[in-house]
Amino acid sequence: MKHAIYAATIACLTTLPAHADPFVEALETAIEAYQDGDYQYAEDELAQAQRLLGAIKAQGLANFLPPAPDGWTRALDTEGSQMMGFMGGGTMAKAVYSGDAGRFELTLMADNPMVAQLGMMLGNSTMIAQMGGQVERIGRVRFLREDQSLKAIVANRILVQAEGADADVMIPLLEQIDFRAMENF
């Protein structure tokens, strides 16, 4: 069975144009190294392919970050997703929004063990009340509203967190996010 899967993978990769993209190139190089018996290099190339795939996923998540409102700027943080390995894995996208009304960060984090733990708390209205927070509905998503912070879990796996400004400043931006589409990320 392993040989059939291996053969199918090689067949798929060899039908692709040479140097289709860096992810495919890393996989091809890993297969070549494996065939040559250089298992360490094969493992290194698989790790490179995994990093590249993580970057692709992070860009997909970043597409949910709304553009800056008129009079504001948005700076995307492209380094944050690379740190996710130290936090148990997953994907992250973050933007800093700045304008006359203040500055705040909007972070999206998916498929991380910390998000699952936080989801148990944010999904429970009783726990939210015990934590002293308020429930703020944005679309059909329930956010924990605290001092200069809004947090929610989407689809039991994606943390949406806005922090650093008054909630009334951050809510209009959060209202622009397509949470239904995010559920399928």
In angstroms, how far is CA 97 from the centroid of its own chain? 18
User: What CATH number is associated with residue 106?
Assistant: 3.30.200
Question: Do 88 and 55 fall within a single domain?
Answer: no
Question: Do 88 and 148 fall within a single domain?
Answer: yes
Question: Do 21 and 77 fall within a single domain?
Answer: no
Question: Do 33 and 98 fall within a single domain?
Answer: no
Domain residues for the domain of 18 are 2-59
Q: Is the dihedral of CA 170, 172, 87, 93 positive or negative?
A: negative
Q: What parts of the chain have a pLDDT lower than 70?
A: 1-19, 78-88, 123-125, 128
8 Å CB contact between 84 and 112:
yes
pLDDT tens profile 103-127: 999 999 998 877 777 777 776 667 7
The whole-number pLDDT of residue 4 equals 43
C-alpha span between 135 and 6 (Å, rounded)? 51
Question: Do 43 and 134 fall within a single domain?
Answer: no
Question: Do 163 and 101 fall within a single domain?
Answer: yes
Question: Do 49 and 77 fall within a single domain?
Answer: no
**Domain count for the chain:** 2
Question: Do 70 and 42 fall within a single domain?
Answer: no
